[in-house]
Structure 1
Amino acid sequence: MKLAFYGSSLLSAYWNGAATYYRGMLKAMCGLGYDITFYEPDVYDRKNHRDIEPPDWARVVVYDGTTAALLEAARQAADADVVVKASGVGFEDDLLLNTLLESSRFDAVRIFWDVDAPATLLGIQDQPEHPLRSALGKLDAVLTYGGGQPVVSAYEALGAGICVPIYNGLDPDTHHPVALDPRYRADLAFLGNRLPDREARVEEFFLAAASRLPNRQFILGGSGWGDKSMSDNIAYIGHVGTADHNAFNVTPRAVLNVSRDSMAGMGFSPATRVFEAAGAGACLITDAWRGLEMFLKPDEEVLVARDGQDVAEIVRQLTTERAAEIGRAALARVLADHTYADRARQADATIRPLAGRRAVEAGQ
């Protein structure tokens, strides 16, 4: 089954938090028999920050950041049995969606795959004429990488026929335990780009926690934090390439997950970082959000903090032995229940019946 996937970038994780999700999902879907072509625009200087070579499980088409190039790429959807438009492609998203709907065959399955559903819904709920809202009735399904029943209910209320959460997960081939790296030795580390809807929560859960523990060492990774005021016990190291994520996660005594505002508010939205850290066998501290227990068991597989004071207290009391115990339990859990192979089977169970229905409607 030919699948045309239009997303932000498969080859670069630079300012592209969905990269790990795309890679894990599409690699696993290839294993289920999908012939995948991924279309990504050449924007945000990602071409100069590629962190993987074109994989053998997907063909990658990089088109120029021009309207003409976008239209040409979108017209190639006519060759596909399944056409996927992801959220947040980053260049003329509305035009891309409308062109894909026009270009895809009548018998093709058409899907909107939302990799930031809480933010997407917030942006369209008060805009009746928004192009995505107008397109929902023409799509066969909406897939999301989080949000649970609140997101499903919201999309159905807006006109989506089918909405299915396909959560983030783990690719054990890329995220796994490695040797400790002296560059990342610390009591607590956080990795995430500086974004408007996460900055205040990072200030509370990470920066404020560090200021309460002046004799402990903290590491901050990610783009955009260079001019941020922070205490002297924080080492800011900037962008961390995906090749170094395993060492970054496993070397500190613990690593921190901080949800963005919209995802924390909606709940049921584990970030990619949750599974990356657990897959490396790291001891993860996360901010509290609804639905966490669906993925990791609090106090046994993950430690949960309500605010920066909680984070500081956890770090103060956490021993190396306790951290290692939590990391081992988290690794066992994600390998058992949360791999991208599991997620791909869920997506496939949604897509194939839709393809069968489309074929019947087309008289094939």
Structure 2
Amino acid sequence: MKIAFYGSSLVSAYWNGAATYYRGLLRALAQKGYDITFYEPDVYDRQKNRDMDPPDWCRVVVYDGTVEALKAVTAQAAAADVVVKASGVGFEDDLLLAEVLRNARSDALKIFWDVDAPATLAEVRTAPDHPLRGALRELDLVLTYGGGDPVIDAYRAIGARDCIPIYNALDPQTHHPVAADRRFGADLGFLGNRLPDREARVEHFFLEPASRLPGQTFLLGGSGWQDKPMSANINYIGHVSTRDHNAFNVTPKAVLNISRASMAENGFSPATRVFEAAGAGGCLITDHWEGIELFLKPDEEVLVARDGQDVADILAGLTDERADDIGHAALQRVLGEHTYAHRAETVDALFKSHAEKREAAE
């Protein structure tokens, strides 16, 4: 089957949190025999900050940030058996969805793949005339990278024929244990860009515990924090390339996952960072969100904090030996149940099921 996938970026993770998800899942689908073309716009300086070359398992088409270029690439949807429009592409998203649907063949499987369902649904709820509402009548399926029953029910309520979560996972080829790197030495590391929907939680779960534990060292990576007030025991290192994520995750005694507010409130939304850290064998501390036990077992494979005081208390009592044990247990769990090969099995079955139903109806 040929897949035409219209997303934010495959070759750049710069201001693009979905990159790891796209890479892992599409690589796994390509290994199952799918012929994939990924279309991405040249916006937000992503092409200037590429962190990978175009892969041999997927054709990448970069188009100018113009309406004319958008229409030219969406015309190519007509050649695909499966047509995917992802959320948050970053250039004329509504027009892109409309053009993809206009050009897709009548027998093609048409999918909206939402990589930020809480944000999308919040936007749609406040706009009765939102273009996505009308598009759902033409779409065969909504896939999301998280959300559980709340997201499934919400999408069905606004007209989706079906909504199925395809959760983040681990790509063992890119995220795996490596040697420690002294550049990333710390008691606790956190990696994440400064976003309005996350900043208050970063203050609560990371900056405040750092100020309470002056004898411990903290490492902050990600873009946008340079003018943020922080205690002297925090080492801010700015943007961290994906090639250094394994070392970042395995070098500190523990690494911290802080969900964006909408993801934490919704639950069942493990970030890519969760699986990256576990895949490197790092000891992960995560903020609490409903559904964490579906992916990692609290206190054995992950440490869970409900507030900043919990983070401080966990760090104060965490030994190197226990951190190593938790990291090892998490690695074994994700390798056994939560790789993109596992996710691709689910997606492949969905694609084939829809194709069989369509053939039977003809």
TM normalised by structure 2 equals: 0.99
Task: Name the structure 2 match of 1:150.
Answer: 150
CA distance in 2, matches of 1:320, 1:37: 45
Separation (CA, whole Å) in 2 of partners of 1:17 and 1:242 = 11
Shift of 1:359: 3.6
Corresponding residue for residue 255 of structure 2: 255
Post-superposition Cα deviations, 1:147-182, rounded to whole Å, max 9, x if no partner, equal: 001100110111101110000000001000000000
Q: Which residue of 2 aligns with 1:106?
A: 106
For the 8 Å contact 1:83–1:109, the answer to whether it is kept is: yes
Quote the residue 1:21 is aligned against.
21
The higher-RCO structure (CA 8 Å, 6+ apart) is 1
* Alpha-carbon distance, 1:300 to partner: 0.2
- Mapped partners of 1:312, 1:51: distance in 2: 34
Aligned partner of 1:303 in structure 2 is 303
1:317 aligns with 2:287: no
Instruction: Tell me how far apart the structure 2 counterparts of residues 272 and 244 of structure 1 sit (CA, whole Å).
Output: 15
Letter in 2 for 1:163: C
> How far is 1:360 from its partner?
4.3
The answer on whether the counterparts of 1:109 and 1:358 sit within 8 Å (CA) in structure 2 is: no
| 1:35 alignment partner AA | D
Q: Residue 84 in 1 paired to residue 103 in 2?
A: no
Q: Give the secondary-structure state (helix, strand or coil) at the position aligned to 1:4.
A: strand
Between the aligned partners of 1:208 and 1:176, the Cα distance in structure 2 is 30
Q: Please report how far the alpha carbon of residue 125 of structure 1 lies from its aligned counterpart in structure 2 after TM superposition.
A: 1.3
- Which residue number in structure 1 is paired with residue 50 of structure 2? 50
Instruction: Map 1:209-220 onto structure 2 (within 5 A).
Output: 209-220=209-220
Give a deviation string over 1:216-275, Cα, whole Å, max 9, x none.
100000000000000000000000000000000000000000000110000000000000
Superposition deviation, residue 350 in structure 1: 1.2
The letter of the residue matching 2:191 is L
CA RMSD of aligned residues (A): 0.7
2:126 maps to 126
Instruction: Encode CA deviations 1:195-236: one digit per residue, 9 max, x unaligned.
Output: 000000000000001000011100000000000000000000
- Supply the distance in 2 between the matched residues of 1:355 and 1:239 (Cα, whole angstroms): 42
Q: 1:174-193, CA deviations, whole angstroms, 9 ceiling, x for partnerless residues?
A: 00000000000000000000
1:165 corresponds in structure 2 to: 165
Task: Return the offset for 1:356.
Answer: 2.5
SS of the aligned residue for 1:137 comes to coil
Please list the CA deviations of residues 309-334 of structure 1 after superposition, one character each: whole Å capped at 9, or x if unmatched: 11011111100000000000000000
Q: Which amino acid aligns with 1:58?
A: C
Aligned pairs (5 A) from 1:188-203: 188-203=188-203
Corresponding residue for 1:356? 356
Secondary structure of 2:135's counterpart equals helix
The percent identity for this pair of structures is 71
What SS class does the counterpart of residue 223 from structure 1 fall into? coil
Structure 2 gaps, min length 5: none
Secondary structure of the residue aligned to 2:100 is helix
What amino acid does structure 1 have at the position aligned with 2:274?
Answer: V
Question: Once structures 1 and 2 are overlaid, which stretch shifts more, 347-356 or 308-317?
Answer: 347-356
Partner of residue 135, structure 1: 135
Gaps of 5+ in 1: none
TM-score normalised over the length of structure 1: 0.99
SS in 1 for 2:304: strand
Q: Distance in 2 between matches of 1:92 and 1:358?
A: 31
Deviates further, 86-95 or 124-133: 124-133
Amino acid at match of 2:300: E
